[in-house]
Structure 1
Amino acid sequence: MINEFLMHLFPRVVPRKNLTVSYTFCLGGLAFTSFMLLAASGGLLLFYYQASPEKAFSSILFLESSIWGGRYLRSLHRLASHFFLVLILLHTLRVVLTGAYQKPREWNWVLGCGLLLLAIFEAYTGYLLPMDQLALWATQTGMELAATVPMGSFVRGILVPDGVGQPMSLLRFYVLHIMLVPLGVLLLSFLHFYRIRKNKGVLPYL
C-alpha cells in the first residue's frame, strides 16, 4: 500500500493527456498539497504556541509582533486551511457530478467522505486555539449546536468536559488538532490514493 501511495505521488511516467487542464483540475492532489503545507506551517507554529488559557492568546501576539515572519507564517497556515477545505469540497462535488462514486469505486467514495468530515473537524478544533473572543464564541456556538443532535451531549462532554476555553478542553482540542486528526487524514489519504491506483483502469482520465 505504501508503494502504491508513493507511486501515485511520484509516478515514473505521466501520459501527456494527464498534463492538460481538464474538468478534474487535480483537485484531490491540490487538497493533499494544502494538507502538507498545513503540516509544515503548523509544525513551525508549535515552537511558539502555548496551549494554556492564560498564555495561548499572548503567545499568538508574541509570534505576530516579535518573531520575524511570524505574521506571515500564521497567515499562511490559515490560508492553507481555507484552501484545504474548499478544494476537498470542490473535489467531492466533482465526484458527485461525474458519478465517480459508483461501483467499483464506492469504497473510495466512503474514504473521501471520511476525509471531508475529518477536514471540517480539523478546522473546528484549530479555530479555538488562538483563544480570542471570536474563537471562544464560535466554538461555544458549535458545542451548543452539537448538543442538539443525537449523542451530541456525549461528544460535547468528551471535547469540553470543563467548558469551552478551560484548561482541559483547550488541551483536548490541541491534541486533536496537531496529532490525532492529522494522523487520521494522512491514513485515509494513504488508503484513498491506494484505491485510486487499484481502480486506475476504470476512469479514462487516470
Structure 2
Amino acid sequence: MVTVFKDFIRHLFPRMVLKENLKISYTFCLGGMAFTLFVLLAVSGLLLAMYYQPHADHAYTSILYIEEQVFGGHFLHSLHRTASNLYLLLIFLHTLRVLLTGAYRPPRQMNWLIGFLLLCLALFSGYTGYLLPMDQLALWATQTGMELVRILPLGELFYQFLVPDAVGEPLSLLRFYILHVVVLPMTTVLLCALHFYKIRKQKGALPYL
C-alpha cells in the first residue's frame, strides 16, 4: 500500500524540469496556490467544526466561544475567513488567465468546463459558509441572496430546497452547514482530482510534462 502511494505521489511530478520553466511568471501557479488554500480551508474548517454548533439557537454563541475561549480560536476563524477570500480571488485570476491565453481551446475544452464548475462550487461554498456565523450581517446578506435566486428560472425550487423554513431557521441552517462542510468539499475534491488528471493526460501547458 505504501509503495502504491509513493508511486502515485511520484507520478504527480515530472522527471525533469527545464531551467526556463523555473522562472516566476505572471501566472505564478495560480491553480496550485488555489488548491493549497483549499487544503488549508479544509483543515481549518475541520478544526472549527469541532466546536461549531449548527443550530439556530447556538451557532452564534459557538462562534463567540471559539473566538474567546478556544486557544488560537480567533486566529483560526480569521485564517479560515481570509483564506476563503484569497481562494476565490485566485480561482478568478486562474480562470481569467485561461481565457486570456486561450487554454480553453481543444483539446482542453473538457478541462475548461471542469474548471468552470470548480469556480461555481467555490462561489457556492463561500455563500453557504457566509450564513454559518448567524450574526446580523450573515442573516441579511443570505436573505438578500436567496431573494435574488427566486427570480431566476427554477429559482423557486432551489429556494425551497435550501430554505424549507426561513433563512437562519434550524432546517435551512442545517442544510447550509451540510452543503458547506460535506457535499461541496467532497465534490470539489473529486473535480480537482479529475482536473489534475486531465492536465497530466493532456501534458498541461508545459513542455516537460
The TM-score bracket by the shorter chain reads over 0.9
The alpha carbon displacement at 1:51 in A equals: 0.4
Q: Deviation per CA, 1:24-64: give whole Å up to 9, x if none.
A: 21000000000000000000001110000000000000111
Q: In the alignment, does 2:125 pair up with 1:125?
A: no
Which residues of 2 match residues 109-124 of structure 1 at below 5 A? 109-124=112-127
Contact 2:16–2:208, Cα closer than 8 Å, also in 1: no
Which residues of 2 match residues 184-203 of structure 1 at below 5 A? 184-200=187-203, 203=206
1:17 aligns to what? Answer: 20
1:49 to 49, 52, 66: 52
1:71 to 71, 74, 79: 74
Q: Size of the alignment, in residue pairs? A: 205
Matched residue type, 1:79:
T
SS in 1 for 2:53: coil
1:159 aligns to what? Answer: 162
- Percent identity between the two aligned chains: 60
Uncovered stretches (5+) of structure 2, i.e. residues with no partner: none
Q: Report the TM-score, using the length of structure 2 for normalisation.
A: 0.92
Q: Deviation per CA, 1:50-83: give whole Å up to 9, x if none.
A: 0000000000001111111100000000011011
Contact 1:162–1:169, Cα closer than 8 Å, also in 2: yes
The alpha carbon displacement at 1:10 in A equals: 4.6
Q: More relative contact order in 1 or in 2 (CA 8 Å, sep 6+)?
A: 1
Contact 2:55–2:173, Cα closer than 8 Å, also in 1: yes
CA distance 1:3–1:125, shift in 2 (3 Å): farther
Contact 1:8–1:193, Cα closer than 8 Å, also in 2: no
Q: Report the TM-score, using the length of structure 1 for normalisation.
A: 0.93
Uncovered stretches (5+) of structure 1, i.e. residues with no partner: none
**Equivalent-residue separation in structure 1 for 2:151 and 2:6 (angstroms):** 44
1:177 aligns to what? Answer: 180
CA distance 1:113–1:3, shift in 2 (3 Å): farther
Contact 2:17–2:208, Cα closer than 8 Å, also in 1: no
Q: Which aligned segments of 4 or more residues in structure 1 are displaced greater than 6 angstroms?
A: 2-5
Q: Deviation per CA, 1:160-183: give whole Å up to 9, x if none.
A: 000100000000000000000001
The alpha carbon displacement at 1:204 in A equals: 4.4
1:149 aligns to what? Answer: 152
**Equivalent-residue separation in structure 2 for 1:201 and 1:62 (angstroms):** 46
Range 8-17 or range 94-103, more displaced? 8-17
